[in-house]
Amino acid sequence: MALPLLLRLTSSSSSSSPLRFRKPFRLLAYTLAYTFSTTSQPNPPPIRVSLTDSVGRAVFATRPILTGDLIHTAEPAICHPSPSSLHPVCYSCLASLPNQSTVSPFCSHRCHQRSKEYYDVEMKANWTDFDNYCRDKYLNSFQRNQGLKYPFLVKRLACMIISGVARSDSIDILQPANLTPEMILEMEEEFTLLRNAFTKALIEDEQIAFLTKQWYISVLARIRINAFRIELAGGGSYEDLLSSAFASVEAEAAVGNAVYILPSFYNHDCDPNAHIIWIDSAVAKLKTLRDIDEGEELRICYIDTSMDRDARRELLFRGFGFHCNCSRCLHGD
């Protein structure tokens, strides 16, 4: 059942005072509204987002939640097919398309209607130079540049802003990555190709006034550590879905990438008590992996939990900029 929920961001010292962030979290000047799907009756909502002294923002349970229960669902703020996707997927929701589907890039009339404005903007431009640059960088330099698929998400967001369906500060609430000078230099090349594509498509200067180098780098810095790989698990029982999700990780079977707001507030743990699963589209379902007590923090794992400790810690530091000190890592598991 879909429940309208006003999500009040609170500090750990006071559950009643609204949280006020210093920059870059200026988007939090107003209360955020979300719609959650839960497995229980309307009250109380299953989670709250609070600011803690140790890990910053975190998601906590407001009531006991049983193993396998749906905590909430989340629509992506932005999504885009993977540059290495082996099968055609929907432009809007990343659902699989029939292999012979060459007429429409959408899986349904609903997806076409919800994406029509920014799809039309994207179709006006010639993306050959931008796409080839990003795709070649991604495919040929994956070990060094794990984020080269993410410029496609920035392109999609820019089209959404130009069409009027998104704001230029729509993901400012998310934590940005720390960038090296080399990363910034690479982003400047991508920015030039992106802006040139819009300019050559005769998009009015007023419509792309937001598209500055600073905006591009700021958005990409947030996307780099907040984007999720979308791996569709398909139908079946919960146990089958869980097995399929692990198998898709092993096979690098991502159909695309997406950025979410609320799921990005979940912190990492190498022994998580919750996880995200995608059934047949980019709509994320967050479920518990074990029984959760009221007040317990809900954590997900950002990477493949089957790796050894050193590999996990290196990947987390390289990809997300932190040294993992979860219980599993501290005990050498």
**CA-to-CA distance for 69 and 104, rounded, in angstroms?**
36
Q: How many whole angstroms from its chain centre is CA 140?
A: 24
Contact partners, residue 58, CB within 8 Å, separation at least 6: 49, 50, 51, 52, 265, 266, 267, 297
- In this prediction, residue 53 carries a pLDDT of 83
pLDDT band at 60 (very low <50, low <70, confident <90, very high): very high
CA–CA dist 136, 141 (Å, integer): 8
pLDDT for res 35: 37
| pLDDT single digits (tens) 99-139 | 655 678 999 999 999 999 999 999 999 999 999 888 777 55
Q: Which of 189-203, 238-252, 299-313 has the lowest mean pLDDT?
A: 238-252
Q: Rounded to two decimals, what is the model's pTM?
A: 0.79
Pick from 18-22, 67-71, 109-113, 117-121: least confident: 18-22
E strand or H helix at 74, and its extent?
strand 70-74
